Amino acid sequence: MKTGIKGVRIRRAAAVAGAGVLLAGGALTAPAQAATAPSVSAKGAFMLNSATGSTLYSKYADTKRPMASTTKIMTARVVLSTPDLNLDRKVTIKQAYRDYVTAKGASTADLKTGDKVTIRQLLHAMLLPSGCDAAMALADTFGTGTTISARTKSFVSKMNAKADTLGLTNTHFDSFDGNSTQNTNYTTPRDLAKLARSAMKYSTFAGIVKKPKTVQYATTSTGGTRTYTWYNTNQLLGSYSGAIGVKTGTNTPSGPCLVFAATRNEKTVIGVLLNDQYRYTDAAKLLDYAFGTSSASTMRLRTLPTGAQRD
């Protein structure tokens, strides 16, 4: 576990004044409520009981902040709520998707131009290696309009409409992947946790985000078969017992972000950390607090292989 002067100061502040932490009683078991709420380095944090939606932990939960690639949770949520969705529908990868990633210096699933991949595979490509090329492919496919630009803008409008439907009153999107175009891509820890809770109700989403790795096969433009191997950027998976997702995010304005979820003893909790340099350790501390356990101090992070995307 990493510690520092800043962490000590935060813990002291928490002991004296609560450091913005709100504790909700009765949501889980007695041991969890008996524990002392941990301090975290995040600028904003929130954790809820997935079954009831009740608050378990809160730190500046309603302060708007940029969210980086955790944006892609909403991208997936919009796709999955599409009427008559066919997850096996094939999409041909356009050079524009690769050009976009290059121009942005963004995380990528390295989708090859001309390959035919399914919607299900695009969701894997977006949610595991945090592929912005895959996010663009989905926005282009499910938006409306005569150009890629028009279709992706249309899709972002759908993201905002879905945010309204879900009651995410402090959330706004200006991009399909978190690479903000107008500095108006923001959310709050509370809103993002509510969004993740909604997304996790889709078995397809929940099934994808819990995978540390996936191997997928696509048809190339010449009729051959290409193998894609994607690793999940969420290092909490395989590191914290019971972790089941959800999504990482990192860029300059947002800092390191993490939406996390775990299940122990049939209890599932979902949490959010925005701008937290110790996001995995802090997530483990919060989960221990929720479950009344002590795993964080001995947790060893799963390592990503050389060449795998980081986010």
Query: Which tens digits make up the pLDDT trace of 104-163?
Result: 999 999 999 999 999 999 999 999 999 999 999 999 999 999 999 999 999 999 999 999
Instruction: Pick the catalytic residue from 39, 50, 69, 198.
Output: 69
- Are 108 and 129 a contacting pair, CB within 8 Å? yes
pLDDT score for 154: 98
Q: Residue 18 pLDDT > 50, yes or no? A: no
**Which residues have a Cβ under 8 Å from the Cβ of 278 and sit 6 or more positions away?**
1, 2, 7, 40, 41
Q: What is the pLDDT of residues 178-231, one digit of tens each?
A: 999 899 999 999 999 999 999 999 999 999 999 999 999 999 999 999 999 999
Q: Which residue has the higher pLDDT, 4 or 56?
A: 56
Beta-ladder partners of 57: 47
The pLDDT-based confidence of 35 (bands split at 50, 70, 90) is: low
pLDDT score for 118: 98
Q: What is the pLDDT of residues 176-191, one digit of tens each?
A: 999 998 999 999 999 9
Counting every residue written for the chain, the total comes to 311
Mapping DSSP onto H, E and C, the string for the chain reads CCCCHHHHHHHHHHHHHCCCECCCCCCCCHHHHHCCCCCCCCCEEEEEECCCCCEEEEECCCCCEECHHHHHHHHHHHHHCCCCCCCCCEEECCHHHHHHHHHHCCCCCCCCCCCEEEHHHHHHHHHCCCCHHHHHHHHHHHCCCCCHHHHHHHHHHHHHHHHHHCCCCCCECCCCCCCCCCCCCEECHHHHHHHHHHHCCCHHHHHHHCCCEEEEEEECCCCCEEEEEEECCCCCCCCCCCEEEEEEEEECCCEEEEEEEEEECCEEEEEEEECCCCHHHHHHHHHHHHHCCCCHHHCCCCCCCCCCCCC
Instruction: Choose among 103, 100, 105, 140: nearest CA to 119.
Output: 140
Average pLDDT, the chain: 91
The pLDDT-based confidence of 29 (bands split at 50, 70, 90) is: very low
Instruction: Pick the catalytic residue from 39, 50, 58, 72.
Output: 72
Q: Residue 12 pLDDT > 50, yes or no? A: no
Per-residue tokens: 70: 């955790």
**Catalytic residue flag (residue 194):** no
pLDDT score for 19: 38
**Catalytic residue flag (residue 130):** yes
**Catalytic residue flag (residue 162):** no
pLDDT score for 23: 44
- Are 276 and 45 a contacting pair, CB within 8 Å? yes
Question: Average of pLDDT values for 2-28?
Answer: 39
CB atoms within 10 A of CB 25: 10
Q: What is the pLDDT of residues 268-284, one digit of tens each?
A: 999 999 999 999 999 99
pLDDT score for 33: 44
pLDDT score for 181: 87
pLDDT score for 274: 98
Instruction: Pick the catalytic residue from 58, 107, 130, 254.
Output: 130
How does strand 90-92 pair with strand 116-118? antiparallel
Q: What is the pLDDT of residues 38-67, one digit of tens each?
A: 999 999 999 999 999 999 999 999 999 999
- Are 106 and 292 a contacting pair, CB within 8 Å? no
Q: Residue 204 and residue 129: Cα distance in Å, rounded?
A: 17
Question: Average of pLDDT values for 259-274?
Answer: 98
pLDDT score for 221: 96
